[in-house]
Structure 1
Amino acid sequence: MKSLISALILLCASWYSYAETVYLTSLDWPPYSGKSLSEQGASVAVAQAAFAAEGHTLVVEFYPWSRAVKSASTKDSKYVGYFPEYHYDTSEFVFSDPMGTGPLGLVQNVSAPISYSSVGDLAGKRIGVVQDYVNTKELDEMIASGSIKGEAVPSDVLNIKKVAAKRIDAAVIDSNVLKYLLKSDASLSGVQSKVAMHPTLLQDKQLFVAFRNDAQGQKWQQIYNAGLKKIDIPAIMAKHLN
Protein backbone atom coordinates (compact mmCIF):
# COMPACT_ATOMS: atom_id res chain seq x y z
CA MET A 1 0.00 0.00 0.00
CA LYS A 2 2.83 2.39 0.91
CA SER A 3 4.51 1.73 -2.41
CA LEU A 4 1.27 2.56 -4.26
CA ILE A 5 0.90 5.83 -2.36
CA SER A 6 4.51 6.72 -3.05
CA ALA A 7 4.02 6.01 -6.74
CA LEU A 8 0.94 8.25 -6.84
CA ILE A 9 2.80 11.06 -5.08
CA LEU A 10 5.65 10.81 -7.57
CA LEU A 11 3.18 10.79 -10.47
CA CYS A 12 1.43 13.90 -9.18
CA ALA A 13 4.74 15.67 -8.55
CA SER A 14 5.87 14.80 -12.06
CA TRP A 15 2.60 16.08 -13.56
CA TYR A 16 2.75 19.39 -11.69
CA SER A 17 6.39 19.92 -12.62
CA TYR A 18 5.44 19.39 -16.25
CA ALA A 19 2.39 21.64 -16.16
CA GLU A 20 3.09 25.12 -17.53
CA THR A 21 1.26 28.38 -18.03
CA VAL A 22 0.96 29.57 -21.62
CA TYR A 23 0.15 33.17 -22.54
CA LEU A 24 -1.83 34.24 -25.61
CA THR A 25 -3.28 37.58 -26.66
CA SER A 26 -6.76 38.23 -27.92
CA LEU A 27 -9.24 41.05 -28.42
CA ASP A 28 -12.78 41.91 -27.38
CA TRP A 29 -14.65 40.20 -30.23
CA PRO A 30 -17.83 38.85 -28.68
CA PRO A 31 -19.13 36.19 -28.63
CA TYR A 32 -15.79 34.58 -29.56
CA SER A 33 -13.53 36.41 -27.13
CA GLY A 34 -13.80 39.09 -24.48
CA LYS A 35 -12.66 39.78 -20.93
CA SER A 36 -16.22 40.21 -19.59
CA LEU A 37 -17.80 37.21 -21.36
CA SER A 38 -18.63 33.91 -19.72
CA GLU A 39 -15.38 31.85 -19.85
CA GLN A 40 -14.05 34.82 -21.86
CA GLY A 41 -16.00 33.71 -24.94
CA ALA A 42 -16.47 30.72 -27.23
CA SER A 43 -12.97 30.64 -28.73
CA VAL A 44 -11.23 31.21 -25.41
CA ALA A 45 -13.29 28.39 -23.85
CA VAL A 46 -12.09 26.06 -26.62
CA ALA A 47 -8.47 27.12 -26.15
CA GLN A 48 -8.67 26.76 -22.36
CA ALA A 49 -10.11 23.24 -22.71
CA ALA A 50 -7.49 22.17 -25.27
CA PHE A 51 -4.55 23.28 -23.13
CA ALA A 52 -6.15 21.83 -19.98
CA ALA A 53 -6.52 18.48 -21.78
CA GLU A 54 -2.71 18.47 -22.05
CA GLY A 55 -2.22 19.51 -18.43
CA HIS A 56 -1.46 23.19 -19.01
CA THR A 57 -3.04 26.49 -17.97
CA LEU A 58 -3.90 29.22 -20.48
CA VAL A 59 -3.85 32.91 -19.59
CA VAL A 60 -5.39 35.23 -22.18
CA GLU A 61 -4.72 38.96 -22.09
CA PHE A 62 -6.87 41.30 -24.14
CA TYR A 63 -5.72 44.22 -26.28
CA PRO A 64 -6.87 46.19 -29.31
CA TRP A 65 -6.38 43.90 -32.33
CA SER A 66 -3.26 45.52 -33.79
CA ARG A 67 -1.52 45.42 -30.42
CA ALA A 68 -2.64 41.84 -29.80
CA VAL A 69 -0.97 40.74 -33.04
CA LYS A 70 2.17 42.83 -32.50
CA SER A 71 2.61 41.64 -28.90
CA ALA A 72 2.48 38.02 -30.01
CA SER A 73 4.98 38.57 -32.83
CA THR A 74 7.62 40.23 -30.67
CA LYS A 75 10.70 38.07 -30.10
CA ASP A 76 11.09 36.85 -26.50
CA SER A 77 7.61 38.11 -25.60
CA LYS A 78 5.82 36.05 -22.95
CA TYR A 79 3.00 35.69 -25.46
CA VAL A 80 3.48 32.79 -27.86
CA GLY A 81 0.53 33.59 -30.10
CA TYR A 82 -2.81 35.33 -30.59
CA PHE A 83 -6.34 34.33 -31.55
CA PRO A 84 -8.95 33.91 -32.89
CA GLU A 85 -7.52 34.42 -36.36
CA TYR A 86 -8.32 33.42 -39.91
CA HIS A 87 -5.66 31.60 -41.90
CA TYR A 88 -3.47 33.78 -44.13
CA ASP A 89 -0.05 33.65 -45.77
CA THR A 90 2.65 34.64 -43.30
CA SER A 91 6.13 33.65 -42.20
CA GLU A 92 5.74 35.22 -38.74
CA PHE A 93 3.20 32.72 -37.44
CA VAL A 94 2.28 29.05 -37.67
CA PHE A 95 -1.37 28.15 -37.32
CA SER A 96 -3.05 25.61 -35.10
CA ASP A 97 -5.54 23.06 -36.33
CA PRO A 98 -9.03 24.58 -36.74
CA MET A 99 -10.74 25.44 -33.45
CA GLY A 100 -14.20 26.23 -34.77
CA THR A 101 -15.76 28.29 -37.52
CA GLY A 102 -17.38 31.68 -37.97
CA PRO A 103 -19.82 32.70 -40.74
CA LEU A 104 -18.32 35.76 -42.45
CA GLY A 105 -20.59 37.91 -44.56
CA LEU A 106 -21.89 41.43 -45.10
CA VAL A 107 -24.19 43.56 -43.00
CA GLN A 108 -26.39 45.74 -45.20
CA ASN A 109 -29.00 48.45 -44.81
CA VAL A 110 -32.45 46.84 -45.07
CA SER A 111 -33.83 49.82 -46.98
CA ALA A 112 -30.94 49.77 -49.48
CA PRO A 113 -29.97 46.10 -49.90
CA ILE A 114 -27.13 45.16 -52.21
CA SER A 115 -27.26 42.46 -54.85
CA TYR A 116 -24.35 40.05 -55.07
CA SER A 117 -23.70 36.36 -55.45
CA SER A 118 -19.89 36.50 -55.62
CA VAL A 119 -17.18 38.90 -54.47
CA GLY A 120 -16.71 40.14 -58.02
CA ASP A 121 -20.23 41.61 -57.90
CA LEU A 122 -19.03 44.02 -55.20
CA ALA A 123 -16.79 45.95 -57.61
CA GLY A 124 -17.34 49.68 -57.18
CA LYS A 125 -19.15 49.27 -53.86
CA ARG A 126 -18.14 51.03 -50.65
CA ILE A 127 -17.44 48.19 -48.23
CA GLY A 128 -16.49 48.69 -44.62
CA VAL A 129 -13.79 46.56 -43.01
CA VAL A 130 -12.12 46.58 -39.59
CA GLN A 131 -8.55 47.82 -39.61
CA ASP A 132 -5.96 45.01 -39.73
CA TYR A 133 -8.56 42.23 -39.88
CA VAL A 134 -8.03 39.47 -42.43
CA ASN A 135 -11.20 38.99 -44.50
CA THR A 136 -11.17 36.72 -47.55
CA LYS A 137 -8.27 36.58 -49.99
CA GLU A 138 -10.37 37.68 -52.98
CA LEU A 139 -12.05 40.52 -51.12
CA ASP A 140 -8.80 41.82 -49.63
CA GLU A 141 -7.11 41.67 -53.04
CA MET A 142 -9.96 43.63 -54.67
CA ILE A 143 -9.79 46.26 -51.93
CA ALA A 144 -6.01 46.50 -52.32
CA SER A 145 -6.39 46.97 -56.08
CA GLY A 146 -9.11 49.60 -55.67
CA SER A 147 -11.79 47.52 -57.41
CA ILE A 148 -13.75 47.61 -54.16
CA LYS A 149 -13.73 50.86 -52.21
CA GLY A 150 -12.67 49.56 -48.81
CA GLU A 151 -13.16 51.82 -45.80
CA ALA A 152 -11.33 50.72 -42.66
CA VAL A 153 -12.47 51.62 -39.13
CA PRO A 154 -11.32 50.45 -35.68
CA SER A 155 -14.38 48.34 -34.81
CA ASP A 156 -17.38 46.36 -36.03
CA VAL A 157 -19.67 48.70 -34.07
CA LEU A 158 -18.56 51.69 -36.14
CA ASN A 159 -19.15 49.76 -39.36
CA ILE A 160 -22.67 48.82 -38.28
CA LYS A 161 -23.43 52.47 -37.56
CA LYS A 162 -22.04 53.53 -40.96
CA VAL A 163 -24.21 50.95 -42.74
CA ALA A 164 -27.29 52.11 -40.78
CA ALA A 165 -26.56 55.71 -41.81
CA LYS A 166 -26.00 54.66 -45.46
CA ARG A 167 -22.48 56.06 -45.40
CA ILE A 168 -21.24 52.78 -46.90
CA ASP A 169 -23.03 50.11 -48.94
CA ALA A 170 -22.19 47.21 -46.61
CA ALA A 171 -19.58 46.04 -44.14
CA VAL A 172 -17.77 42.77 -43.56
CA ILE A 173 -18.77 41.08 -40.31
CA ASP A 174 -19.23 37.67 -38.72
CA SER A 175 -22.96 36.99 -38.36
CA ASN A 176 -22.55 35.80 -34.75
CA VAL A 177 -20.75 39.03 -33.92
CA LEU A 178 -23.51 41.10 -35.52
CA LYS A 179 -26.22 39.23 -33.61
CA TYR A 180 -24.38 39.68 -30.32
CA LEU A 181 -23.65 43.38 -30.82
CA LEU A 182 -27.21 44.25 -31.84
CA LYS A 183 -28.48 42.58 -28.66
CA SER A 184 -25.92 43.87 -26.19
CA ASP A 185 -24.33 47.14 -27.35
CA ALA A 186 -26.39 50.08 -26.07
CA SER A 187 -24.97 52.42 -28.71
CA LEU A 188 -26.70 50.31 -31.39
CA SER A 189 -30.16 50.46 -29.77
CA GLY A 190 -31.51 52.67 -32.54
CA VAL A 191 -30.26 50.68 -35.53
CA GLN A 192 -31.50 47.10 -34.98
CA SER A 193 -34.33 47.54 -37.47
CA LYS A 194 -32.11 49.27 -40.03
CA VAL A 195 -29.47 46.59 -40.64
CA ALA A 196 -29.35 42.87 -41.37
CA MET A 197 -26.97 40.22 -42.66
CA HIS A 198 -27.00 39.64 -46.39
CA PRO A 199 -28.18 36.06 -46.98
CA THR A 200 -25.11 35.24 -49.10
CA LEU A 201 -22.06 34.53 -46.97
CA LEU A 202 -18.56 35.42 -48.10
CA GLN A 203 -17.19 32.29 -46.41
CA ASP A 204 -17.68 30.08 -43.36
CA LYS A 205 -14.25 30.85 -41.97
CA GLN A 206 -12.21 28.46 -39.86
CA LEU A 207 -10.73 29.92 -36.69
CA PHE A 208 -7.18 29.31 -35.48
CA VAL A 209 -4.57 30.23 -32.92
CA ALA A 210 -1.64 31.93 -34.65
CA PHE A 211 1.54 30.85 -32.83
CA ARG A 212 4.77 32.78 -33.23
CA ASN A 213 6.99 30.99 -35.73
CA ASP A 214 9.87 30.12 -33.43
CA ALA A 215 10.81 27.20 -31.18
CA GLN A 216 8.44 28.21 -28.38
CA GLY A 217 5.54 28.89 -30.71
CA GLN A 218 6.01 25.60 -32.54
CA LYS A 219 6.22 23.72 -29.23
CA TRP A 220 2.89 25.13 -28.05
CA GLN A 221 1.30 24.64 -31.47
CA GLN A 222 1.96 20.89 -31.18
CA ILE A 223 0.69 20.73 -27.60
CA TYR A 224 -2.43 22.70 -28.49
CA ASN A 225 -3.20 20.55 -31.53
CA ALA A 226 -2.95 17.44 -29.36
CA GLY A 227 -5.37 18.97 -26.89
CA LEU A 228 -7.88 19.92 -29.59
CA LYS A 229 -8.20 16.25 -30.52
CA LYS A 230 -9.34 15.43 -26.97
CA ILE A 231 -12.20 17.93 -26.65
CA ASP A 232 -15.64 18.45 -28.20
CA ILE A 233 -15.12 21.71 -30.08
CA PRO A 234 -18.67 22.01 -31.56
CA ALA A 235 -20.27 21.50 -28.13
CA ILE A 236 -18.10 24.16 -26.49
CA MET A 237 -18.71 26.64 -29.31
CA ALA A 238 -22.47 26.00 -29.30
CA LYS A 239 -22.69 26.66 -25.56
CA HIS A 240 -21.50 30.23 -26.12
CA LEU A 241 -22.87 31.01 -29.58
CA ASN A 242 -26.40 29.82 -28.91
Structure 2
Amino acid sequence: MKQHSRNAWLLSVFLVLAGVFQSAAADKVYMASLEWPPYSGAALPDQGAAIAVAKAALEAMGHELVVEFYPWSRAVKLVQQPNSKYVAYLPEYKYETEDFQFSEPLGEGPLGLVENVSKPITWEQVEDLERYRIGVVQDYVNTKAFDDLVAAGRIKVEAVGTDTQNILKVAAGRLNAAVIDSNVMAYLLANTPRLKSVSSKVRMNNRLLEMKDIYAAFANNAAGAKWREILDEGLTKIDAGAILDAHMGASK
Protein backbone atom coordinates (compact mmCIF):
# COMPACT_ATOMS: atom_id res chain seq x y z
CA MET A 1 0.00 0.00 0.00
CA LYS A 2 1.38 3.40 -0.97
CA GLN A 3 2.06 5.80 1.87
CA HIS A 4 -0.52 8.41 0.83
CA SER A 5 -3.16 5.70 0.35
CA ARG A 6 -2.34 4.22 3.75
CA ASN A 7 -2.60 7.67 5.36
CA ALA A 8 -5.95 8.29 3.69
CA TRP A 9 -7.17 4.89 4.89
CA LEU A 10 -6.04 5.57 8.44
CA LEU A 11 -7.73 8.97 8.38
CA SER A 12 -10.99 7.37 7.23
CA VAL A 13 -10.82 4.80 10.02
CA PHE A 14 -10.09 7.53 12.56
CA LEU A 15 -13.07 9.59 11.40
CA VAL A 16 -15.40 6.60 11.54
CA LEU A 17 -14.23 5.67 15.04
CA ALA A 18 -14.52 9.29 16.17
CA GLY A 19 -18.09 9.33 14.96
CA VAL A 20 -18.85 6.10 16.78
CA PHE A 21 -17.34 7.36 20.02
CA GLN A 22 -19.14 10.69 19.71
CA SER A 23 -22.46 8.92 19.15
CA ALA A 24 -21.79 6.69 22.13
CA ALA A 25 -21.00 9.69 24.31
CA ALA A 26 -24.14 11.60 23.30
CA ASP A 27 -27.15 10.79 25.45
CA LYS A 28 -30.84 11.54 25.46
CA VAL A 29 -31.68 13.26 28.72
CA TYR A 30 -35.27 13.06 29.97
CA MET A 31 -36.95 15.73 32.07
CA ALA A 32 -40.56 16.27 33.14
CA SER A 33 -42.48 19.52 32.83
CA LEU A 34 -45.94 21.08 32.83
CA GLU A 35 -47.98 23.40 30.66
CA TRP A 36 -46.81 26.80 31.92
CA PRO A 37 -46.56 29.03 28.87
CA PRO A 38 -44.57 30.94 27.81
CA TYR A 39 -41.89 29.16 29.86
CA SER A 40 -42.97 25.61 29.00
CA GLY A 41 -45.59 24.01 26.80
CA ALA A 42 -45.80 21.05 24.44
CA ALA A 43 -47.07 23.14 21.50
CA LEU A 44 -44.74 26.12 21.97
CA PRO A 45 -41.61 26.69 19.84
CA ASP A 46 -38.89 24.47 21.38
CA GLN A 47 -41.50 23.65 24.05
CA GLY A 48 -41.21 27.07 25.66
CA ALA A 49 -38.65 29.67 26.67
CA ALA A 50 -37.14 27.93 29.72
CA ILE A 51 -37.00 24.55 28.02
CA ALA A 52 -35.35 26.14 24.97
CA VAL A 53 -32.54 27.36 27.24
CA ALA A 54 -32.08 23.93 28.81
CA LYS A 55 -32.13 22.26 25.38
CA ALA A 56 -29.49 24.65 24.03
CA ALA A 57 -27.26 24.15 27.07
CA LEU A 58 -27.35 20.37 26.81
CA GLU A 59 -26.92 20.49 23.03
CA ALA A 60 -23.78 22.57 23.60
CA MET A 61 -22.49 19.63 25.64
CA GLY A 62 -23.38 17.12 22.95
CA HIS A 63 -26.61 15.80 24.43
CA GLU A 64 -30.30 15.83 23.48
CA LEU A 65 -33.00 16.93 25.93
CA VAL A 66 -36.37 15.18 25.74
CA VAL A 67 -39.15 16.81 27.79
CA GLU A 68 -42.47 15.14 28.54
CA PHE A 69 -45.47 16.94 30.02
CA TYR A 70 -47.65 16.09 33.01
CA PRO A 71 -49.82 17.83 35.61
CA TRP A 72 -47.41 19.69 37.89
CA SER A 73 -47.63 17.53 41.01
CA ARG A 74 -47.13 14.38 38.93
CA ALA A 75 -44.13 15.87 37.10
CA VAL A 76 -42.43 16.53 40.44
CA LYS A 77 -43.22 13.06 41.83
CA LEU A 78 -42.03 11.25 38.71
CA VAL A 79 -38.49 12.56 39.22
CA GLN A 80 -38.51 11.20 42.79
CA GLN A 81 -39.43 7.65 41.81
CA PRO A 82 -36.69 5.01 42.11
CA ASN A 83 -34.94 4.38 38.77
CA SER A 84 -36.97 7.13 37.10
CA LYS A 85 -35.94 7.96 33.55
CA TYR A 86 -36.47 11.63 34.41
CA VAL A 87 -33.35 13.22 35.88
CA ALA A 88 -35.08 16.55 36.58
CA TYR A 89 -38.21 18.62 36.22
CA LEU A 90 -38.52 22.21 35.05
CA PRO A 91 -39.16 25.08 35.28
CA GLU A 92 -39.02 25.57 39.04
CA TYR A 93 -38.20 28.20 41.66
CA LYS A 94 -35.46 27.35 44.15
CA TYR A 95 -36.62 26.37 47.63
CA GLU A 96 -35.31 24.55 50.70
CA THR A 97 -35.51 20.81 50.08
CA GLU A 98 -33.52 17.60 50.49
CA ASP A 99 -35.29 15.97 47.55
CA PHE A 100 -33.82 18.04 44.72
CA GLN A 101 -30.69 19.92 43.67
CA PHE A 102 -31.02 22.98 41.48
CA SER A 103 -29.21 24.03 38.34
CA GLU A 104 -27.84 27.46 37.67
CA PRO A 105 -30.68 29.83 36.61
CA LEU A 106 -32.23 29.29 33.20
CA GLY A 107 -33.80 32.76 33.33
CA GLU A 108 -36.08 34.83 35.51
CA GLY A 109 -39.72 35.85 35.76
CA PRO A 110 -41.72 38.51 37.62
CA LEU A 111 -43.93 36.92 40.28
CA GLY A 112 -46.81 39.08 41.45
CA LEU A 113 -50.54 39.17 42.05
CA VAL A 114 -53.45 39.33 39.64
CA GLU A 115 -56.24 41.54 40.99
CA ASN A 116 -59.77 42.58 40.03
CA VAL A 117 -59.74 45.94 38.24
CA SER A 118 -62.80 47.13 40.16
CA LYS A 119 -61.46 45.93 43.53
CA PRO A 120 -57.68 46.46 43.56
CA ILE A 121 -55.67 45.43 46.60
CA THR A 122 -53.12 47.59 48.41
CA TRP A 123 -50.08 46.35 50.28
CA GLU A 124 -46.58 47.45 51.20
CA GLN A 125 -45.14 44.30 52.76
CA VAL A 126 -46.18 40.69 52.47
CA GLU A 127 -47.79 40.70 55.94
CA ASP A 128 -50.37 43.17 54.58
CA LEU A 129 -51.79 40.35 52.46
CA GLU A 130 -53.17 38.73 55.61
CA ARG A 131 -56.38 40.73 55.17
CA TYR A 132 -57.07 39.22 51.75
CA ARG A 133 -58.06 35.85 50.35
CA ILE A 134 -55.35 34.84 47.88
CA GLY A 135 -55.40 32.16 45.21
CA VAL A 136 -52.40 29.85 44.65
CA VAL A 137 -51.76 26.87 42.40
CA GLN A 138 -51.50 23.55 44.22
CA ASP A 139 -47.88 22.57 44.96
CA TYR A 140 -46.38 25.68 43.33
CA VAL A 141 -43.55 27.35 45.22
CA ASN A 142 -44.22 31.08 45.64
CA THR A 143 -41.87 33.20 47.76
CA LYS A 144 -40.40 32.12 51.09
CA ALA A 145 -41.98 35.02 52.98
CA PHE A 146 -45.40 34.37 51.44
CA ASP A 147 -45.27 30.59 51.87
CA ASP A 148 -44.08 30.91 55.48
CA LEU A 149 -47.09 33.08 56.30
CA VAL A 150 -49.39 30.60 54.57
CA ALA A 151 -47.86 27.73 56.56
CA ALA A 152 -48.40 29.72 59.76
CA GLY A 153 -52.07 30.22 58.86
CA ARG A 154 -51.70 33.98 58.65
CA ILE A 155 -52.46 34.33 54.93
CA LYS A 156 -55.67 32.64 53.79
CA VAL A 157 -55.26 30.89 50.47
CA GLU A 158 -57.32 28.76 48.12
CA ALA A 159 -55.38 26.23 46.05
CA VAL A 160 -56.47 25.26 42.55
CA GLY A 161 -54.96 23.25 39.72
CA THR A 162 -54.10 26.00 37.22
CA ASP A 163 -53.38 29.70 36.85
CA THR A 164 -56.39 29.96 34.51
CA GLN A 165 -58.74 28.93 37.33
CA ASN A 166 -57.25 31.60 39.59
CA ILE A 167 -57.70 34.32 36.96
CA LEU A 168 -61.36 33.35 36.55
CA LYS A 169 -61.90 33.40 40.33
CA VAL A 170 -60.35 36.84 40.66
CA ALA A 171 -62.42 38.15 37.74
CA ALA A 172 -65.59 36.82 39.38
CA GLY A 173 -64.71 38.41 42.73
CA ARG A 174 -64.34 35.05 44.48
CA LEU A 175 -60.73 35.87 45.37
CA ASN A 176 -59.15 39.21 46.22
CA ALA A 177 -56.02 38.26 44.26
CA ALA A 178 -53.95 35.30 43.11
CA VAL A 179 -50.23 34.66 42.83
CA ILE A 180 -49.05 34.52 39.20
CA ASP A 181 -46.07 35.27 36.99
CA SER A 182 -46.93 38.33 34.90
CA ASN A 183 -45.55 36.74 31.72
CA VAL A 184 -47.77 33.71 32.29
CA MET A 185 -50.79 35.92 32.85
CA ALA A 186 -50.14 37.94 29.69
CA TYR A 187 -49.83 34.75 27.65
CA LEU A 188 -52.97 33.18 29.12
CA LEU A 189 -55.11 36.28 28.58
CA ALA A 190 -53.97 36.50 24.95
CA ASN A 191 -54.24 32.80 24.10
CA THR A 192 -56.92 31.16 26.27
CA PRO A 193 -60.45 31.43 24.76
CA ARG A 194 -62.25 31.09 28.10
CA LEU A 195 -60.32 34.10 29.45
CA LYS A 196 -61.16 36.46 26.57
CA SER A 197 -64.37 37.65 28.23
CA VAL A 198 -62.63 38.49 31.53
CA SER A 199 -59.43 40.08 30.21
CA SER A 200 -60.74 43.60 30.90
CA LYS A 201 -61.69 42.65 34.47
CA VAL A 202 -58.23 41.67 35.74
CA ARG A 203 -54.74 43.13 35.82
CA MET A 204 -51.43 42.66 37.57
CA ASN A 205 -51.07 44.50 40.86
CA ASN A 206 -48.39 47.18 40.53
CA ARG A 207 -46.19 45.63 43.24
CA LEU A 208 -44.21 42.44 42.64
CA LEU A 209 -43.76 39.74 45.23
CA GLU A 210 -40.32 38.97 43.80
CA MET A 211 -38.32 38.69 40.59
CA LYS A 212 -37.78 34.94 40.59
CA ASP A 213 -34.95 32.96 39.03
CA ILE A 214 -36.09 29.85 37.19
CA TYR A 215 -34.23 26.54 37.48
CA ALA A 216 -34.23 22.87 36.58
CA ALA A 217 -34.69 20.73 39.70
CA PHE A 218 -32.63 17.53 39.56
CA ALA A 219 -33.11 14.38 41.58
CA ASN A 220 -30.88 14.42 44.64
CA ASN A 221 -28.83 11.41 43.59
CA ALA A 222 -25.68 10.64 41.60
CA ALA A 223 -27.42 10.77 38.21
CA GLY A 224 -29.04 14.06 39.12
CA ALA A 225 -25.71 15.52 40.20
CA LYS A 226 -24.03 14.35 36.98
CA TRP A 227 -26.61 15.95 34.72
CA ARG A 228 -26.88 19.10 36.80
CA GLU A 229 -23.15 19.65 36.34
CA ILE A 230 -23.43 19.02 32.60
CA LEU A 231 -26.35 21.44 32.25
CA ASP A 232 -24.55 24.07 34.32
CA GLU A 233 -21.45 23.81 32.13
CA GLY A 234 -23.62 24.03 29.04
CA LEU A 235 -25.22 27.23 30.33
CA THR A 236 -21.78 28.87 30.30
CA LYS A 237 -21.49 28.13 26.58
CA ILE A 238 -24.75 29.80 25.44
CA ASP A 239 -26.49 33.17 25.69
CA ALA A 240 -29.41 32.08 27.87
CA GLY A 241 -30.86 35.59 28.09
CA ALA A 242 -31.04 35.98 24.32
CA ILE A 243 -32.68 32.55 23.91
CA LEU A 244 -35.20 33.31 26.64
CA ASP A 245 -36.08 36.72 25.17
CA ALA A 246 -36.45 35.32 21.64
CA HIS A 247 -38.80 32.55 22.75
CA MET A 248 -40.83 34.81 25.03
CA GLY A 249 -41.50 37.01 22.00
CA ALA A 250 -42.31 34.03 19.77
CA SER A 251 -44.81 32.71 22.32
CA LYS A 252 -46.95 35.85 22.42
Aligned residue runs from structure 1 range 135-154, under 5 A: 135-154=142-161
1:171 aligned partner: 178
Verify: 1:239 aligned to 2:246, yes or no: yes
Moved more, 130-139 or 8-17: 8-17
Return the letter of the residue paired with 1:53: A
1:162 aligned partner: 169
2:187 aligned partner: 180
1:53 aligned partner: 60
**Post-superposition shift, 1:4?**
3.1
Rounded to whole Å, the distance in 1 between the matches of 2:25 and 2:150 is 47
Verify: 1:194 aligned to 2:201, yes or no: yes
| 5+ residue gaps, structure 1 | none
Rounded to whole Å, the distance in 1 between the matches of 2:241 and 2:229 is 21
**Post-superposition shift, 1:7?**
2.6
Rounded to whole Å, the distance in 2 between the matches of 1:117 and 1:28 is 32
Q: How many percent identity over aligned positions?
A: 55
TM-score (norm 2): 0.94
The C-alpha deviation readout for 1:7-47, integer Å capped at 9, x for no partner, is 32222221111001111000000000011111110011111
- Measured on the aligned residues, the alpha-carbon RMSD in Å equals 0.9
**Post-superposition shift, 1:180?**
0.2
Rounded to whole Å, the distance in 2 between the matches of 1:125 and 1:135 is 16
Q: Does the residue aligned with 2:225 lie in a helix, a strand or coil?
A: helix
Bigger radius of gyration among the two: 2
Q: Does the residue aligned with 2:35 lie in a helix, a strand or coil?
A: coil
Rounded to whole Å, the distance in 2 between the matches of 1:77 and 1:24 is 10
Residue number among 205, 211, 218 corresponding to 1:204 in the alignment: 211
Q: Does the residue aligned with 1:216 lie in a helix, a strand or coil?
A: helix
The C-alpha deviation readout for 1:205-237, integer Å capped at 9, x for no partner, is 000100001111111111111111111111111
TM-score (norm 1): 0.98
Verify: 1:81 aligned to 2:107, yes or no: no
Rounded to whole Å, the distance in 2 between the matches of 1:65 and 1:176 is 18
| 5+ residue gaps, structure 2 | 1-7
Verify: 1:122 aligned to 2:129, yes or no: yes
1:7 aligned partner: 14
Q: How many residues align?
A: 242
2:116 aligned partner: 109
